[in-house]
Structure 1
Amino acid sequence: MESAAKCRSPATLLLLLLLAHLLPSMATSHVEMESVYVGQRVLPVRLGRPAFGPESLAFDHRGNGPYTGVSNGRVLRWRGPLRGWTEFAHNHKHETVAACAAKKRLVVPESACGRPLGLQFHRQSGDLYYADAYLGLMRVGRRGGQAEAVATEAGGAPLNFVNGVDVDQDTGHVYFTDSSATFQRSDYLTIVLTGDATGRLLRYDPATGVAAVLASGLSFPNGVAVSADGTHLVLAETARCRLLRHWLSGPRAGTTEHFADLPGYPDNVRLSDAGGDNGYYWVGLNRDKSWMAEGTTPRSVAAVRVRAADGGVVEALRGLGNATVSEVVERPGGALWIGSVDTPYVGLFKAGGLSSSGRRSL
């Protein structure tokens, strides 16, 4: 992907320096994995100004898309090279707040108009659920339009930083994360810096309209994915550079355990189409661990492929420049769609799929 380097404020630089000082043990990684250097082979599918930051990607029940949420608070849909990106959904502020109107081209603070992050369809109903970091868990019908907030609190506490989303296609339950009860998305670095562990894993039941707390005391819970058999969730705990597994059924139901250590700070988690014990998860990395000491290099890990059976990290995507990776979605045929909270485009890498040995054919 192309470089997305930006001038950082003194406050942000100070936070990064402090983080590097306070977390020396996270400076290097010794995970052994096969590497794919994608480099200039990633095609940028550009968004229209002033939108940027396609953090998460979803495809509808017909395989159309991707759909993605962007910095101006809207959800866009890719209609192909001829039609490009068109608006699919917005929240109530885009009809009631002048600065958020569709014809406004100004860049306003994301908290003013909302900020969609993780999103996923329930294929049977056609509903799209997405996490608005500031407004709560949102839902919009298959035809798009104005989305409604279906959850703004859980367990008697308001949602503060709604982040990752996945949907159990069999039950219709929506699983999502509230990354911190203390800090909002605009202060996400502070969550890591302070060791804040007030995040929660949540479940929304469309039948009852209730959002329940499944786990709490988490350190920056981020992306979440439902396992192929629906027995558990795989959850990214960003501040601790790891994946957790939360059991939904069976003898360990209700418990949360360690699943995988990662070579960087994870964002979203997506289950591959392969499914079952032979499947795997793609995990986007905001940065790899060596970034604190070395900066971005051609070897920097941007995303990893993790075995669903045992949490083994088996493959790394490298060579994506200075752009962070929020999400990787693998489509039939092996194409990888790559989201980033920092870029004005979605990346498309047309890989050749996986061989029987698990190695990617390029």
Structure 2
Amino acid sequence: MEAAKCCPATLLLPLLLLLVHSPATMVTCRAEMESVYVGQRVLPVRLGRPAFGPESLAFDHRGDGPYTGVSNGRVLRWRGPLRGWTEFAHNHKHETVTACAAKKRAVAPESACGRPLGLQFHRASGDLYFADAYLGLMRVGRAGGRAEAVATEAGGAALNFANGVDVDQETGHVYFTDSSATFQRSDYIMIILTGDATGRLLRYDPATGGVAVLATGLAFPNGVALSADGTHLVVAETARCRLLRHWLRGPRAGATEPFADLPGYPDNVRLAAGDGGDDTSAYYWVALNRDKAWMEEGTTPRSVAAVRVRAADGAVDRALRGLGNATVSEVVERPGGALWLGSVDTPYVGLFRTGGGL
């Protein structure tokens, strides 16, 4: 299959002009989605300097948080308005590399100190797993502190760009993506420009320490989410502007297939289940770096920042609009309908209180 030529949010305009847009390879997204204009109703929960870019968000077994990984290589925890953000976890470089020390306020290159991206808790053990783009799959216990790398290779090949993470709460298996075997996060633009499709979908088993390769040949695999019934994974394939479904159980186990066409370039995916606890009452929030119209129109009040996708059939039924130039990398829905918004480009986490759901 030929890859659709999509671009992520932070590509500069001159580089966009180098891309050859090929509409014939892209399925038109459904037009019936309803719009929610969030605009100025998003509350910025600001980080302390020099940290920025809260890419992914997670809540622990008590519902406390969010926790998020930021640009200086650390994982922070929100302790409420009075205490603010405090450090929860760090990697070994923050103890051994001078430029990464806690008291350093200068911004070091993220490759020097690590860059946490997707993260998720295993609630029963209290362990937090997160993908560090440069160090691999990391784990830290419920008390926080120094995180250890639990996976740095798969199938005989080193992890090169660890990215999205989700955890099966029943089995403890950790599902994550390796976005490219060729380019690291610092050179992610080249994944698009070269049409690179060397990304992988992986599974870490904490009982054995083994890592299984579930799918290969993916074009910038990004966020990953386990379905409500545990039968399959939903994976964001950024470079092709779509979601994939990878079957874990059932007659199609091991197969990977298209699941949803999207109106933009997806980042993280998070499941939000309804009362039924299965795919008939569940949906996914999918953050979009930019919508497709941005290439021609720039950012407008109608620009789509995130979409809600029905788990039953892959239909896009809601769109969040009106966030201006702030890109969105993750949307997490909490009880009561509040939406927490992550972004690689902002010095804050966004909070949108819906007042009862969407």
Using structure 1 for the length normalisation, give the TM-score: 0.93
Percent identity between the aligned chains? 85
- Residue of structure 2 equivalent to 1:3: none
Aligned with residue 296 of structure 2, among 293, 296, 303: 293
- Residue of structure 2 equivalent to 1:154: 154
Aligned with residue 349 of structure 1, among 344, 349, 352: 352
Report the secondary structure of 1:121's partner residue.
Answer: strand
Q: Decide whether the 8 Å contact of 1:27 with 1:289 is kept in 2.
A: no
Offset of residue 273 of structure 1: 3.5
Q: Superposed, which structure 2 residues align to 1:1-362 within 5 Å?
A: 12-19=12-19, 22-23=20-21, 25=23, 31-274=31-274, 275-276=277-278, 277-354=280-357, 360=358
Which whole-Å CA distance do the structure 2 matches of 1:35 and 1:231 have between them? 30
Q: Decide whether the 8 Å contact of 2:220 with 2:237 is kept in 1.
A: yes
Report the secondary structure of 1:292's partner residue.
Answer: helix
Offset of residue 14 of structure 1: 2.9
- Residue of structure 1 equivalent to 2:4: none
Report the secondary structure of 1:225's partner residue.
Answer: strand
Q: Which sections of structure 1, spanning at least 5 residues, go unmatched?
A: 1-7, 355-359
Which whole-Å CA distance do the structure 2 matches of 1:31 and 1:91 have between them? 44
Offset of residue 353 of structure 1: 3.0
Opposite residue 87 of structure 1, the aligned amino acid is: E
Q: Decide whether the 8 Å contact of 1:172 with 1:206 is kept in 2.
A: yes
Q: Decide whether the 8 Å contact of 1:31 with 1:263 is kept in 2.
A: no
* Superimposed CA distance per residue, residues 322-354 of structure 1 (whole angstroms, 9 cap, x where no aligned partner): 011000000000000000010000000000234
Q: Decide whether the 8 Å contact of 1:214 with 1:254 is kept in 2.
A: yes
- Residue of structure 2 equivalent to 1:5: none
Aligned length: 344
Which whole-Å CA distance do the structure 2 matches of 1:353 and 1:192 have between them? 39
- Residue of structure 2 equivalent to 1:4: none
Report the secondary structure of 2:58's partner residue.
Answer: coil
Q: Decide whether the 8 Å contact of 2:177 with 2:200 is kept in 1.
A: yes
Which whole-Å CA distance do the structure 2 matches of 1:101 and 1:278 have between them? 46
After superposition, the CA RMSD in angstroms is 1.4
Offset of residue 244 of structure 1: 0.4
* Superimposed CA distance per residue, residues 58-117 of structure 1 (whole angstroms, 9 cap, x where no aligned partner): 000000000000000000000000000000000000000000000000011100000000
* Superimposed CA distance per residue, residues 264-287 of structure 1 (whole angstroms, 9 cap, x where no aligned partner): 000000000424111100000011
Offset of residue 24 of structure 1: 5.0
Opposite residue 224 of structure 2, the aligned amino acid is: V
Change in 2 beyond 3 A, CA 1:201/1:27: closer
Offset of residue 31 of structure 1: 3.1
Q: Which sections of structure 2, spanning at least 5 residues, go unmatched?
A: 1-9
